[in-house]
Structures are given as C-alpha cells and as structure tokens.
Structure 1
Amino acid sequence: MTAAVETGLWQLDTTRSVIAVSHVTMWGMVTVKGEFRGVTGEGEVHADGTVSGSVALEAASLDTKHKKRDEHLRSADFFDVERHPTLVFAVRDATYRQNGTVEVKGRLTVRGVSRPQTATVKVTESSTDSIALTTEFTVDRDQFGMGWNRLGMMRGLTTVTATLRFTRASA
C-alpha cells in the first residue's frame, strides 16, 4: 500500500469508528439517516504492500432514531436480520494513489448477496500504532434484494459514510 502504513495486523477500534447510511426518500423531500452501532473489523498490511481485511456490521444495529422504521429495516423487506444478521465488506485489493487516497476494491455482502464494491479511502492519520480512514460511496440496494419501494418513495442510491480507526493488534 504505502510506507506510511506499517505492515502487520490491525484491529478496528469500535469506540472510535462510525459507519452511517443516508437515503433520500419521500420523492426527494426527506433524507433518512442512520448509524450502525455494532461494527467489528480487522486488517493486515502484508510485507509486499498488499492489504486484506474486512469490516462487519450487525444489521440489527442500524439506528435511525425512529423505532418503527428501524423495525421495518430489520424485516424481510430490507435487511432480513433473522436470516442475514451481518453485512460484510471484505477487502480484496488496495492501491495507493499519489493524492493521498487509496482505492480499495472488495466485496460487499448484504442479505447473502455479494457484489464487487470499490471505495476511495482517505488516510487521515497514520502512525506506527494507529491509522484513521474516511470514505464515502454509494450502494444500489436493489442489487442486494432490498427493492421495497411503496408508492415509489425510495428511489436512487444509498450513501455510506465511514470513519474507521484501526490500532495495531497485539502479537
């Protein structure tokens, strides 16, 4: 990846990491926002510069600050948490760019459906013991079997934003 990120094993600091989603609904008049409270992850920067790892989200932990909506999002219309409790982004490749960003290619798995997903990640902090990353990308929920759309209220893409802090894993 880059010399700025030390090789070795890295563990997601769940207390200092945030993964949120937003989606425009009601024919473009309302933006629904939510945050996943249950997040885990790990990664490895190998000696040859390659990167592997994953971030997992507990689907039932999505909090939009609206109990009835959250219950609906947990249902079979959306995340179907009883059958698919976890969403996973698995890193397959990462390429450092000269502008200080990293192009991360991976597979996003939602509701048991895996699709390629690319994200441009900004390294906002890097030391021998911690690294902080930020990213924003969009997801087409229809590709994951979440096509529920009463009266055409939910069109378009869902935006995912993440601030992830990793710390060096103990040997």
Structure 2
Amino acid sequence: MNRATKSGIAAEAQSKINSKYSEQQAVECLDWIALITGADINKSGDMDNFYEVLKNGQLLCELINTLKPGQIKKIQKSEMAFKCMENINQFVDGAKACGVPSEETFQTVDLWERQNLNAVVICLQSLGRKGAQFGKPSIGPKEAEKNVRNFTEEQLRASEGIVNLQYGSNKGATQSGMSFGTTRHM
C-alpha cells in the first residue's frame, strides 16, 4: 500500500476503529476458517497476522465455496491489487448469499487497505453463526429460530373491549399557575 500515514482527526478516528478490534474474536474466526476449509494457517489473532492471512481474499472465497459449493465461480490466484480486491468483493457477495445481513458485511477496502479489520471479524462471526445451516460447525451464539404465532380473529378482537390503564390519565392537571424564571423586564 502506498497510502500516506493518517494524522490529526483521521488518525484519531482510525485509532478508535482499531480499538474495537478483538484478538480473541479474531482467533475464533481464524480457527473456524481453518476447521471449515482445512487450510493450514497461522491462527494468531493479532491484527498483522489476521490481515496477512486474509488480505488476498483467496481463503475467504474457499470458505464460501466450502459452505455453499459453486457460489464463487473463479477465485483469482494473482497477488495484483485489483484481483485480490475482486476476491474480497466476491466473498462479501457470497456471505450475503449465505444469509449474512448487509449491515454485518464490510467494504472491500476495510480489509484490503486495512481500514477496519473489526468489520471483517463481525462479518466472519455472522457467517460463522450460519455454519450449522450448511451442515458445518458454527461459532458464536446459536441463531434464533422463527417462532410464528397465529391468532384467530376472535382472539385479536378480544383486546378491543379492554380499557387500558397503561395509557395513563392526567386527572385534570393543567399548567395554570406554573411559572418558570422571572418575568421579562422592559
């Protein structure tokens, strides 16, 4: 990368973003990726290793294809910037196809330019929770299951006759006689 070092407010903002990064969560994500893909990777959670392992996007694409075979047609093997960014972008699209909500994904530059590695961790955790849906081990808390309730028309109408005391009442209270501060002197 040939990007200038951030300074001033930009450096403060980057520092704040970096402070949200959790090495423990990164280790959990890398362990899960190694388990799913069978890749032999360094599972250290420090930012430098996390970035180095994932930056070209190839492992991320393999992860998606392991969960959902054939989702990513062509994984770029080149180390050229635009090819790596294409891999990362394909991973993000694949994660969405696997059910990761778009608010839990990341921008390509968050990983490629190391702008926000915490967003990458969040996306991997979200994808990790979906693992069980694809017959693979999952990480993090178990996802909630749908619990649809169907009420009859009679049950829905039963609440209409009830006067709800939670709506409250002001019992005739008014603001008459209240004064705040002093009167205006001319």
Q: Does the pair score TM above 0.5? A: no
- Structure with greater helix percent: 2
- Structure with greater strand percent: 1
Q: TM-score, normalised by structure 1?
A: 0.24
- For the pair shown, the structure with the greater C-alpha radius of gyration is 2
Structure scoring higher RCO (CA < 8 A, sep ≥ 6) equals 1
Q: TM-score, normalised by structure 2?
A: 0.22
